Amino acid sequence: MPIPNHVLRFLFFLLVRVLVIFMLGLNIKRRNLLPKDGPAIVIANHNSHLDTLVLISLFPLKLLPRIRPIAAADYFLRNPVFAWFSTRVIGIIPIQRGSAQKGFDPLAPCYEALDQDMILVLFPEGSRGEPERLSRFKKGVAWLVERYPTVPVTPVLLYGLGKALPKNDFVLVPFFCDVLVGENMYFNADKHQFMALLTDRFAQLTDEGHFPDWE
């Protein structure tokens, strides 16, 4: 009899927690500001495949069924085994990018998840950037937040994971990492203003961390 997906997910993230504790040193600031229920949106920077796993590991295990990371379908669905593991165990919601189909809304799966009181994890930089460098955020997150103006948005800055497991690398290097959780944000009636505020929040978190330049 096959093991149910929710059991596999629980066991996998239990293992992730053990690895995070013993392989990485995490300095977490204001963990209490992370969402305790949905609907909610968590926005983080993206430098490593560890980003998603570490973020989810910060939540209580009882919230696992409600946490849904958002990722590009063209990357995570290329391999059938990887696709099954990503969607069924990690819980990723795959988003189709660049479709020219009339009336197609790539954010539709996000709407459905928020309507079901899920906690979405978004990386508005898109693909993983250079280690410990923030890239310009894409505006899709503003469209999503505009549709759900009462849903809290929690900014989270991750620093060090890009060195622990850099892009295109497959060997985990023990490294001390920082996680800074910011105060909740809400849509403020204008997408451009929201994106400016979001960018400013991450700049504030970066300044707070006093992080050294990448070497």
Angle between helices 140-147 and 108-115 (to 10 degrees): 40
Q: Which two tokens stand for residue 186?
A: 């809400």
Task: Answer positive or negative: Cα dihedral of 60, 88, 160, 122.
Answer: negative
In whole angstroms, give the CA distance from residue 149 to residue 142. Answer: 10
What is the overall mean pLDDT for the chain? 83
Report all structural domains of the chain as residue ranges with CATH numbers, in order of start: 5-209 (3.40.1130.10)
In whole angstroms, give the CA distance from residue 108 to residue 73. Answer: 13
Q: What pLDDT, on the 0 to 100 scale, is given for residue 215? A: 45
Identify which of 207, 195, 180 has the alpha carbon closest to the alpha carbon of residue 136. Answer: 195
CB atoms within 10 A of CB 53: 20
pLDDT in tens, 57-90: 999 999 999 999 998 777 666 778 878 888 888 8
Lowest model confidence (mean pLDDT) among 13-17, 96-100, 178-182: 96-100
pLDDT in tens, 111-135: 999 999 999 999 987 655 555 666 6
SS3 (DSSP) at 193: helix
In whole angstroms, give the CA distance from residue 142 to residue 159. Answer: 24
pLDDT in tens, 26-57: 889 999 999 999 999 999 988 777 888 889 99
